[in-house]
Structure 1
Amino acid sequence: MFKLLKGGRVFTPENLGTKDLLIAGDKIAQIGEINPVPEYGPVEVIDVTDHYVVPGFIDQHIHLIGGGGEAGYASRTPEVRLSQLTSAGITTVVGCLGTDGTTRHMASLLAKARGLENEGISTYIYTGSYEIPTCTLMKNVRDDLIIIDKVIGCGEVAISDHRSAQPTKEDISKLAAECRVGGILSGKAGVLHLHVGSGKEGLRILSEIVDETNIPITQFIPTHINRNADLLAEGIRFAQKGGRIDLTTGFNPLSQPRTSISPTEAIHQALAEGAPLEQITMSSDGNGSLPVFNERGDIVGMTVSEPRCLYEEFKNLVNSGLPLEDSLKVITQNPARVLKIQERKGTLRVWADADVLVLDQDLNIVHVYARGQCMIRDGKILVSGTFE
């Protein structure tokens, strides 16, 4: 029941220096100098000297039951497997549908989220998909937020994209209002998570809604902001006004020779231009398809985003010179605040969920604990998904 991580450098993500961390069941029970070893009962002592002890990663945009389909039925991507997540240090996910709200269903997404939670990690979902009116479990977004425990917001609804339903400003305003009221009544974040394509409209709709209505800018989470330079510039201005922006690790110019900007480069640019780090998050778009379109809108290529790219981009951030604590924030503390789960997730503190990673000095993943259960030990998978 008790696990004592002894002698590691603890980042909450703030740097606490060398500390011990005690896990009791699924919670963090103590952080500090713990000596002698507590005598509550059997205690497993794990020596993590010269290692980093950090919060488990949060992936707030991932296609748990797969995505894609833009190139026909055979291009539908597969479901996420548990080990894809834990081996990447991901202990909390928010699942979404995406382009296809017809052959993929909210009930299936909810069932997959429950299944992954039974296997050991923490899960939430967005209700909806690209289109408006968007698909829901009950009769509307507000009801889903209030009644379905795992629904934390609405998304990913598409704007500025040829695959979207071409929503108007009024459409997005009404949807955001539903999210807001549903969030207030349920005590949840109630965010509207928006896929932003490469269309010329960019974030114009969101800026107009914020200027012309009473809906606060924090109601919106536009993602894929590093899709191209113009959209990134808009996103930085949005963050400077108090909005939150999400960068996608799934498309990276190193792996896809397009107009996208690596999240690491995008974060450095945003910080240089005065955007607060607290307003920036990263997510993987894991198991979503990454179609490549030509200027006529025809698909000329197709790849799949891997959840592991979130971890790889975190390492890129640290290696680029961003302090470890700041690099951690964009995939731990910041998304936890955005999603209003910061009391349990995204930080190492007493009575938070024991979602803990142990990294070596080269940032390799050594151990992964999800709600106190050891999922990865010495880099090897201990807990696999049911059918893995």
Structure 2
Amino acid sequence: MIVVGHLFSFQKAYFGFNRFMDLNHPDLPYWLALNNREAIGPQSFIKAFDHFGSAKAVFGASKDDLIQCGLRPSVVSALERPVDLKQGEEELSFYQKKNIQILSFKDKAYPPLLKQIHSFPPLLFVWGNLSALSSDDCLGVVGSRAVTEYGVVACRRLVRECVEGGFSIVSGFAKGIDIEAHKTTLELGGITVAVLGSGFGFLYPPEHSVYVEKILEKGAFVSEFPFKAFPHPSFFPRRNRIISGLSRGVLVVEANEKSGAMITARYATEQNRDVFAVPGPLDSLRSRGCHRLIQQGAKLVMEGRDILDEWHYPLRSLAQDASLAQSRPHGLSRNLGDEKQKMKLSLVESNTDESKVVQACRERSQNIDEIIGATGLSSEKLTVLLTQLELGGRLRLMPGGRFLAV
């Protein structure tokens, strides 16, 4: 890992040479030069590096040696061009000023889930908390840029419930569902990772720069592209494989049948990740992709608990819920009024009747008679409480008229 920080000449970098190197190691600019060659994709990069042993040796190889390595003619031609190391020096200077870390695929700190995927990035540029990339509790959240009101409400509700369940959220920093997922995570004090479809010199879209500082407090920005790489349409599908690659599963909130979110879902399937999809109105084109995913076997999600159950996550304690809820700012969209009510219901004191009912149904589902026996409440009062708690999202009605705490 290369940590480009204020103490530039004293930082260390590990590139799989079985030792740590100074940032001024002569091979470092060649790594960046190799990453900057447009014709050289991740697989060619890794194949060439593994064959020749260093990035500098790749550029020093003869045409015949490059061909024998099994590289495509276009890649061979790209590697025969002279190397401009000044560009690498400029790039390093930029990362130093921003305190951006450079992580190679040979580094022990490289995200283990990401390294499992086909065509993983040989270099990652990370701005922020590196440990946020290596969590087993990351959920990718993607969807339409032209999001509907329904999509916003669904995204906020599901992300809130998943963050409260202990997950970090990975998304693409784009308009629509992506930024709603990031914002909701930040409002709860959670960890979110933003994967860019550009280099760090062109943070896109620029209007989202107001969220940068907050994301960096606990989370991170990630890019595989050189710092001067402008956001190009072809970069976003490449970005999407990183979103799913860093995640244990991917939640698709709204998507038409031909969209980037569907590309991410396809990558997730290829990477053996779980795919979750939110159903929408039957006549909504923006939900056609989600409906298609459900037909193909994605898990239908109506609440965050559906994902928690799939991954066998335990419920948080009331104290944990209260701590998260108290950090949540006021003044969210009026469309989320029902979500606020759920939060209020989750903060009941331990000696209230509502809390007694929830506690009685926490370990396993209970019928009305069993709840009466556990709480001592009258059937009339219990009927009212059950209705309130179910509407508030604290209880779920199960088959057979039984209730389970959510």
TM-score normalised by L of structure 1:
0.28
Higher strand share: 1
The higher-RCO structure (CA 8 Å, 6+ apart) is 1
Structure (1 or 2) with the larger CA radius of gyration: 2
TM-score normalised by L of structure 2:
0.27
Higher helix share: 2
